[in-house]
Structure 1
Amino acid sequence: MRGLDDLPAISDVPSVTAAQMAEVDRVAIEELGIRLEMLMENASGGIAAACRALLGDVEGRRIVCLAGSGNNGGDAVGAARRLQGWGADVRCVLAVPPERLAGTARLQYEIARRIGVPVASANEARLDAAELLVDGLLGYSVRGAPRGDVELLIRAADRSRVPILAIDLPSGLHPDTGLPLGVTIRAAATVTLALPKVGLVTTPSRALVGELLLADIGIPASVYERFGIDARRCFVSGDLVRVLVG
């Protein structure tokens, strides 16, 4: 896509299982004191930068961010706030009522609402007029096939034929096997956070993942080293990179 060739490209990137990533997050937050709000803010910036890389310029571009109830939803809403500040015509679509958003995701929603980011519910969503969709419906802790309004939005996104940027992994994809759990987002690109999840670099997932980008969210390399993972060189050339999958 348009600006991806301008991103630094790296290969031989380590990947993590969902269980490993959960432990990495736990150590960073509980033992080092890196607040979840800090990680989410970093993630939101990386996602917004990925949107700009895909579109070339976001000013005046129509972008719709699809947000689930968890941290991926918070990342999507935070990215929408960044994109609005960069001049994009951006709006959010929530898969759940605002009161069901998890704590940090709810904080992102409240901030976005105060600064005037338009927010719609799933049954109000109009996706086909967008130039880019951002998929923040489900994350690496997904359990089972998408249901309810999450399933509705995945199907609507597929019908729209609008290019999709998935956050961390396409919603509906198993993070470890790379196989669909049910209806699944087919992304033009995926911006994975911290390190790629194992399922993103398997052959079965490639048609759903699209181009694979990697965003630095501020987890120190020393945290990965506790689990025997060498991530020291992932972001030497930039905090948003393109991953070359062999």
Structure 2
Amino acid sequence: MQSLDRLKLEKSQLNDGTTQLALEIPRFKLEQLANELLQTGSQVTHAKSKNTETATAPTLLNQEVNIQLPSLALTLMESANLKLIIDKQINLNQLLKQQSLQNRAKYQIEGLEIKRSYHKNRRLRTEKLLELSQGELIQSFNWNKQDLNTQEHWSFDGLNLESTHTATPDLTQPNLTDFTVEGKAILDTDISSVLGLINANYSLPPSLNLEGHTRLDLNYQFTQETKTTKNGKSPSHKATFP
């Protein structure tokens, strides 16, 4: 972890007897190398008999997903100062109402590779699910005591994408269980950038030759609300693409 200054935390007693915490977070860069994640499980497949059209019994195939990520980095680009009033009765919702916060962050990955291995017909097979040489996300965010507004610039091996989001939690509910996220994503690039990323992961016909420009505007909204049922309270999800 690299940082230009030290993290500072000060505790003080105010005139009304409450406790105030003053936190100063410096700019920093956190980097983790040689990351690997291995997930194992089973996949159910259905096959037809060679002599009939009748489907045979489902077969379980053991499979393994391997994720290799040589480099993962997070950079907080500006320092941040927080002052929070703390007492025994305060909860997370009340803390969020106290302080606004603005900052910028950068996330970087290098050499991401995801592969799936499985057995079929007594043979071990391996297929590539995703491969990225470089990926970067630069994000600015602004918490204004009511909602979180963000702007993102994404870059994946030369393919660029812009997006904005507004996350609005229901601060009247405990544990932030109810919230709404509204987002917009814009892809505006030469079609060769799209084909280059696809071809790096999936084989395209050599004779395929496309030229031109492509643009995609996507608006979406995700809502989670806690509803009371006969069995108690449970979260309800809703996604729309207006």
TM-score range, shorter chain: under 0.3
Tell me which of the two structures has the higher relative contact order, counting C-alpha pairs closer than 8 angstroms and 6 or more residues apart. 1
Structure with the higher fraction of residues in helix conformation: 1
Greater C-alpha radius of gyration:
2
Q: TM-score, normalised by structure 1?
A: 0.21
Structure with the higher fraction of residues in strand conformation: 2
Q: TM-score, normalised by structure 2?
A: 0.22
